[in-house]
Amino acid sequence: MDEKDNGEFIRLDRLLSKAAALSRRDAKRAVSFGRITVDGSIIRSPELKIPSTSTVCFDGKKLIYNENVYLMLNKPAGYVCANDDPKSPNVFELLGDEYKKDELFTIGRLDKNTTGLLIITNNGTAAHFLLSPKRHVKKKYSIKTKFPLTDEDAKAFLEGVDIGEKTLTKTAFLEICEDKFTGYLTITEGKFHQIKRMLDARKNKITALQRVSFGPIFLDGKLALGKYRALTGEEIKALEDTAKI
Ligand code: URA
């Protein structure tokens, strides 16, 4: 295995102490007892530098060792984004046991019945900047409505509508699909129930809402509802560039 030392490599004992919460001493012992595999092979030298993309298992169980965790979840309806509602299942319950759920949070919240792209991270700084109104991060939603969407709606959303806040909503872009009852709405804010309230302001009603993108990240069409995957290196870079951290 390549031993070169750059940001993409990590010492096995360091990785174990981070990902499996082991002391360096216990990490070394676990390695010498043959309990650790790297990409399927038992490794017995704790100081070995391994590519950070390696699959590392401890007693056969895969470890997650990114310093920063970034997951893309295709949120199903019926799940809430906070873990303080005892009556409803929350999105963290959809994640595997390898994640320390008390360290994770969602970048913004989707309503219980909204589906689609939800980014989950342990990087509070990135989340803070991505949610800052100053960053104007675009969020695109696929919408279904009770009544047909009109060009007047699109014009009103461009100019801003009154949803009962101190100021009108910021410029938002509505694309209307041929059937007129479906479309895409892109907003740069994230007020409580924002899209529902924007449609209410137009005397219409949302009947289905799905987030399809958040800044540079697009919902992976291969992810079934309730499934998640780690963001790729490129996606993380694009997200951190957007957050300007
Ligand atoms: N706007 C809403 O009304 N609900 C969401 O879940 C997201 C945006």
Predicted confidence band of residue 133 (pLDDT cuts 50, 70, 90): confident
Q: Are residue 26 and residue 52 in the same domain, yes or no?
A: yes
Cα–Cα distance for residue pair 175/63, rounded to 1 Å: 43
Q: Is 5 a residue whose pLDDT tops 50? A: no
Q: Are residue 169 and residue 191 in the same domain, yes or no?
A: yes
Q: What is the pLDDT of residues 10-20, one digit of tens each?
A: 899 888 877 77
Find out whether the beta carbon of 110 lies less than 6 Å from any atom of ligand 1.
Answer: yes
Q: Is 2 a catalytic residue?
A: no
Find out whether the beta carbon of 193 lies less than 6 Å from any atom of ligand 1.
Answer: yes
Block residue for tokens 């461009």: 158
Predicted confidence band of residue 245 (pLDDT cuts 50, 70, 90): low
Q: Are residue 58 and residue 156 in the same domain, yes or no?
A: no
Ligand 1 pocket, mutate which of 187, 196, 205, 213 (most atoms under 8 A from CB): 196
How many Å lie between the centroid of ligand 1 and the Cα of residue 42? 48
Instruction: Single out the residue in 62, 89, 104 at which a domain terminates.
Output: 62
Q: Are residue 146 and residue 209 in the same domain, yes or no?
A: yes
Find out whether the beta carbon of 200 lies less than 6 Å from any atom of ligand 1.
Answer: no
Q: Is 74 a residue whose pLDDT tops 80? A: yes
Q: Is 46 a residue whose pLDDT tops 90? A: yes
Catalytic entry in 111, 153, 179, 220:
111
CATH number at residue 28: 3.10.290.10
The residue segments making up the domain with residue 124 are: 70-132+217-243
Q: Are residue 144 and residue 122 in the same domain, yes or no?
A: no
Ligand 1 pocket, mutate which of 131, 193, 211 (most atoms under 8 A from CB): 193
* Joined tokens for residue 132: 């800052």
Residue nearest atom 3 of ligand 1, based on CA coordinates: 193
Instruction: Single out the residue in 21, 43, 62 at which a domain terminates.
Output: 62
Alpha helix ranges (H) inside 79-179: 124-131, 151-159
- By DSSP bridging, strand 70-75 and strand 115-121 are antiparallel
Block residue for tokens 């800052």: 132
Distance of CA 118 to the CA centre of its chain: 4
Of ligand 1's listed atoms, the one at least distance from the Cα of 198 is 3
Instruction: Single out the residue in 62, 97, 112 at which a domain terminates.
Output: 62
CATH number at residue 204: 3.30.70.1560
pLDDT of residue 32: 94
Q: Are residue 207 and residue 173 in the same domain, yes or no?
A: yes
State the total domains in the chain.
3
Q: Are residue 115 and residue 227 in the same domain, yes or no?
A: yes
Q: What pTM did the predictor assign?
A: 0.78
CATH number at residue 77: 3.30.70.580
Q: Are residue 31 and residue 46 in the same domain, yes or no?
A: yes
Q: Are residue 74 and residue 92 in the same domain, yes or no?
A: yes
